[in-house]
Amino acid sequence: MTVESTAARKPRRSSKRVSAAKKPQSSEPQLVQLLTPEGVRVEHPDYEIDLSADELRGLYRDMVLTRRFDGEATALQRQGELGLWASLLGQEAAQIGSGRALRDDDYVFPTYREHGVAWCRGVDPTNLLGMFRGVNHGGWDPNTNNFHLYTIVIGSQTLHATGYAMGVAKDGADSAVIAYFGDGASSQGDVAESFTFSAVYNAPVVFFCQNNQWAISEPTERQTRVPLYQRAQGYGFPGVRVDGNDVLACLAVTRSALERARRGEGPTLVEAFTYRMGAHTTSDDPTRYRHDEDRAAWEAKDPILRLRTYLENEGLADEAFFASLEEESDVLAKRVREAVRAMPDPDDMAMFDHTYADGHALVDEERAEFAAYQASFAEEGK
Amino acid sequence: MAVQKLPLAKALNESLRKALETDPKVLIMGEDVGKLGGVFRITDGLQKDFGEDRVIDTPLAESGIVGTAIGLALRGYRPVVEIQFDGFVFPAYDQIVTQLAKMHARALGKVKLPVVVRIPYGGGIGAVEHHSESPEALFAHVAGLKVVSPSNASDAYWMLQQAIQSDDPVIFFEPKRRYWDKGEVDTEAIPGPLHSARVAREGSDLTLAAYGPMVKVCLEAAAAAQEEGKSLEVVDLRSMSPIDFDTVQASVARTGRLVVVHEAPVFYGSGAEIAARITERCFYQLEAPVLRVGGYHAPYPPARLEEEYLPGLDRVLDAVDRSLAY
């Protein structure tokens, strides 16, 4: 497989044009881009990537299956099977690109929207649905796939990632840690503190900010006066903005940041510039605060479409590949549907479980009271 | 030398030293805990002996301290975090309540959070605002946390050992005005359970229940009452979550009267919980309603007023008289 030669930064100009009208901030900073919205491979002086056809098809497959899973989850919420769903629609490249940059021994601290990263870590997608169905608050073993539980309170996990990375460094390991968060979280004190701690301890952590332009109804302009990646400078570590809809660039930039962490050179802030194509969650109504034309402009930059164009134009994938992937998507969707519907409600007594690791007298007392109360109905029923 | 007479602060220092020696995963973290040895010198000399990698001066950010301690615990460490003063814990309150307390349950038991948060608390040292508060009820109210407070040097040593060994997060409230009080510490003793209360003085007419800095006040009150012919039992609760209600109940069953004493405001304080539970358990043995002595529903006052705000011997005895008058 060949990598395009010098061919032009022209596509970057085109991506700029699309967003320039509405968002003045996006017109100044340079985006790292390796695959244009038109599906053209371009070079970047600082980041290169050389993937086999297999690997490229793998990234495409990851994005397609993640989107299908996500769409299925949205549908399951509409059908009443899930209480809520936070869609990642539009952010597949940011998540798959960064997720595939990780080694098995690296550790991930996600928000509640990192379904694509979970996919890359090998977390069974059906595991992600328990909390949205209301049968648990997460519940998977974070150490099985080095993928921490979803964190709902915005930005809190960046400190956990930093502490974990401090531990990695103490252990003398060369693993790296990645903390996901968003443009809204960038305003949180915990995120600022995680920048401070990771910088002064030189912790091997990558801060991966998916700037999807919206924190529910508030645009990025309500969170920052400077491009988010520039915040890193004030803390003394590098920041880089990457085209968050370009899976190749996200992979290359994240890989480079992780390598830097492994070399003991400390944290990096990656700002993946992307767009939340869907609502914040299924409870949200974006028509109240944003314009259709904005979304339409980003549709032209779709992460999956551009890789498909590239694969087709370069003859790296044939019809059979796309057809079999379609089939695989259907199988995944069916499996997800069935798994969700089969998910049992937890036992009544489960609410007391795991409150403490070493037990607690009050929990024991209340569990016994509740059991006796429940049993009293059974006796009446006899 | 197993038995030593130590100030409470030194007992804590020895306990931390022992923990650092015993378990390589134990870390000390906090503001000024390194070279300075902490503003109360609880970590004095520890960085010199165990290195900057294990006794860690942190940036001045409480949420960051607790949040990174959580991450270190997830990596297998056992961080012992120092919050410099009671009134400075609130920037970390979110991490403590929403993350530290709940993560074990959220993971259905698959991760453990052995983090100790040490907080010097309470008044009586003539400090400026935010340096004299007693926020223990705010933590005891949260499922997933354990909350304890030693009243003497021996308990300081042993309860801190046990808190560090606990696989649950423990909020460890240190009675700062008792830091300099000396007591015997037997470092080879076999301690009782961390969350058990202790009868600190036996008596037959009324039970005083207290913890932390107020145990001393209650013991003094009991001694003074004795001179008036009243026999007061003093229960040192030691643990505010869980509370050893069995020991309190057994005492009240003998005396028929209970007065709960703490520095924290009475309103929604731990005395309210104890009064409710003991009333349920001892309704027919009580000769008087459970009374409470504590702080008022007002911001902690300027130092020149704190002697009036804090429950002292006279206010405790006043409540004793009111109870005995029923």
> Does residue A38 sit in the same domain as residue A99?
yes
> Does residue A23 sit in the same domain as residue A156?
yes
Question: Tokens 């012992």 correspond to what residue?
Answer: B80
* CATH classification at residue B46: 3.40.50.970
Residue that finishes a domain, picked among B132, B151, B186: B186
**Helices A92-99 & A53-78 angle (0-180, nearest 10):** 130
> Does residue B265 sit in the same domain as residue B300?
yes
* CATH classification at residue A56: 3.40.50.970
The DSSP secondary-structure symbol of A148 reads P
Report the residue of B60, B68, B103, B115 to disrupt the A interface, i.e. the one with the largest count of A CBs within 10 Å.
B68
CB neighbourhood size of B83 (10 A): 24
Residues of chain B positioned with their CB less than 8 A from the CB of A141: 107, 110-111
> Does residue A296 sit in the same domain as residue A354?
no
> Does residue B139 sit in the same domain as residue B36?
yes
Is residue A44 one of the residues assigned to a domain? yes
CA distances from A353 to A192, A346, B107 (A): 34, 11, 11
Residue A141 burial by Cβ neighbours in a 10 Å radius (0-12, 13-18, 19+): middle
> Does residue A208 sit in the same domain as residue A357?
no
- Average pLDDT estimate for A317-328: 98
Query: What contacts A81, CB < 8 A, 6 or more positions away?
Result: A133, A337, A340, A341
Beta bridge pairs of residue B236: B198, B210
- Determine the pLDDT at residue A28: 56
Is residue A2 one of the residues assigned to a domain? no
Is residue A230 one of the residues assigned to a domain? yes
> Does residue A89 sit in the same domain as residue A141?
yes
Which pLDDT band, with edges at 50, 70 and 90, does A14 fall under?
very low
Is residue A4 one of the residues assigned to a domain? no
Give dist(CA B173, CA A96) in Å, integer.
46
> Does residue B163 sit in the same domain as residue B99?
yes
Domain that holds residue B121: 3-186
| Min distance B294 CA to chain A CA atoms (Å) | 24
Closest residue of A to B58, CA-based? A197
Is residue A1 one of the residues assigned to a domain? no
| Min distance A173 CA to chain B CA atoms (Å) | 12
> Does residue A42 sit in the same domain as residue A28?
yes
> Does residue B154 sit in the same domain as residue B280?
no
Please name the amino acid found at residue A204.
P
A276 is catalytic: yes
Options A44, A231, A255, A280, the catalytic residue: A280
> Does residue B162 sit in the same domain as residue B231?
no
Q: Tokens standing for A246? A: 């370009």
The DSSP secondary-structure symbol of B182 reads E
Residue A203's nearest CA partner among A177, A242, A241 is A177
B149 close to B238: Cβ distance less than 8 angstroms: yes
> Does residue B130 sit in the same domain as residue B15?
yes
B264 close to B136: Cβ distance less than 8 angstroms: yes
Per residue in A39-53, pLDDT tens?
Answer: 999 999 999 999 999
Is residue B193 one of the residues assigned to a domain? no
A280 is catalytic: yes
> Does residue B115 sit in the same domain as residue B10?
yes
Query: What contacts A204, CB < 8 A, 6 or more positions away?
Result: A165, A168, A169, A174, A175, A176, A177, A261, A262, A264, A266, A267
Please name the amino acid found at residue B186.
D
Which pLDDT band, with edges at 50, 70 and 90, does A263 fall under?
very high
**Residue positions counted in chain A:** 382
Which pLDDT band, with edges at 50, 70 and 90, does A18 fall under?
very low
Of the candidate ranges A11-20, A234-243, A274-283, B224-233, the one whose mean pLDDT is the lowest: A11-20
User: Phi and psi of A164, rounded to 5°?
Assistant: -60, -40
Is residue B171 one of the residues assigned to a domain? yes
Q: ipTM surpassing 0.95, yes or no?
A: yes
> Does residue A363 sit in the same domain as residue A325?
no
Whether A285 has a pLDDT exceeding 70, the answer reads: yes
Is residue B50 one of the residues assigned to a domain? yes
How far is it between the farthest Cα atoms of chain B?
60
**Residue positions counted in chain B:** 326
First to last CA, chain A: 74
Which pLDDT band, with edges at 50, 70 and 90, does A348 fall under?
very high
A229 is catalytic: no
> Does residue A277 sit in the same domain as residue A338?
yes
- Determine the pLDDT at residue B56: 98
| Min distance A142 CA to chain B CA atoms (Å) | 8
What ranges in chain B are assigned the alpha helix state H?
8-22, 46-50, 62-74, 93-94, 103-106, 136-140, 153-165, 214-227, 245-255, 270-282, 306-309, 313-324
> Does residue A352 sit in the same domain as residue A307?
no
> Does residue B9 sit in the same domain as residue B135?
yes
What ranges in A286-360 are assigned the alpha helix state H?
292-299, 303-313, 319-342
Whether A7 has a pLDDT exceeding 70, the answer reads: no
Residue that finishes a domain, picked among B186, B213, B229: B186
Give dist(CA B242, CA B244) in Å, integer.
6
Mean pLDDT split into 10-residue runs, chain B, 326 residues: 92 98 98 98 98 98 98 98 98 98 97 98 97 98 98 98 98 98 96 97 98 98 98 98 98 98 98 98 98 97 96 98 97
Number of domains comprising chain B: 2
Is residue A212 one of the residues assigned to a domain? yes
- Check CB contact under 8 Å for B68 and A137: no
> Does residue B82 sit in the same domain as residue B227?
no
Identify which of A161, A200, A357 has the shortest CB distance to residue B167.
A357
CA distances from A375 to A348, A361, B299 (A): 12, 21, 47
- Determine the pLDDT at residue A23: 38
- Check CB contact under 8 Å for B64 and A196: yes
> Does residue A360 sit in the same domain as residue A335?
no
* Chain-centroid distance, C-alpha B173: 4
> Does residue A149 sit in the same domain as residue A169?
yes
Tell me what percent of the residues of chain A surpass a pLDDT of 70: 92
- Determine the pLDDT at residue B273: 98
- Check CB contact under 8 Å for B109 and A363: no
Top-confidence residue, B299 or A19: B299
Mean of all residue pLDDT scores within chain A: 92
| Min distance A166 CA to chain B CA atoms (Å) | 7
Give dist(CA A178, CA A158) in Å, integer.
9
Whether A3 has a pLDDT exceeding 50, the answer reads: no
A196 inside 8 A of chain B by CB = yes
Number of domains comprising chain A: 2
Strand ranges (DSSP E) for chain A? 107-109, 177-182, 205-211, 214-215, 218-219, 239-243, 268-273
User: Phi and psi of B274, rounded to 5°?
Assistant: -65, -40
3-state secondary structure of A314: coil
Identify which of B61, B69, B112 has the shortest CB distance to residue A357.
B112
* CATH classification at residue B233: 3.40.50.920
> Does residue B244 sit in the same domain as residue B124?
no
- Determine the pLDDT at residue A180: 98
User: Phi and psi of B4, rounded to 5°?
Assistant: -130, 150
Beta bridge pairs of residue B7: B182
- Average pLDDT estimate for A70-79: 98
Q: How many CA atoms lie within 13 A of A126 on its CB side?
A: 13
- Determine the pLDDT at residue A8: 39
Residues of chain B positioned with their CB less than 8 A from the CB of A162: 64, 67-68, 71
- Determine the pLDDT at residue A13: 38
- Check CB contact under 8 Å for B71 and A164: yes
Q: Tokens standing for A331? A: 């199988």
**How many interface pairs between A and B have CB atoms less than 8 angstroms apart?**
147
Per residue in A53-63, pLDDT tens?
Answer: 999 999 999 99
Residue that finishes a domain, picked among B121, B156, B186: B186
Domain that holds residue A103: 10-342
- Determine the pLDDT at residue A16: 37
> Does residue B291 sit in the same domain as residue B318?
yes
- Determine the pLDDT at residue A6: 38
- Determine the pLDDT at residue A378: 81
> Does residue A284 sit in the same domain as residue A366?
no
> Does residue B33 sit in the same domain as residue B167?
yes
User: Phi and psi of B283, rounded to 5°?
Assistant: -50, -45
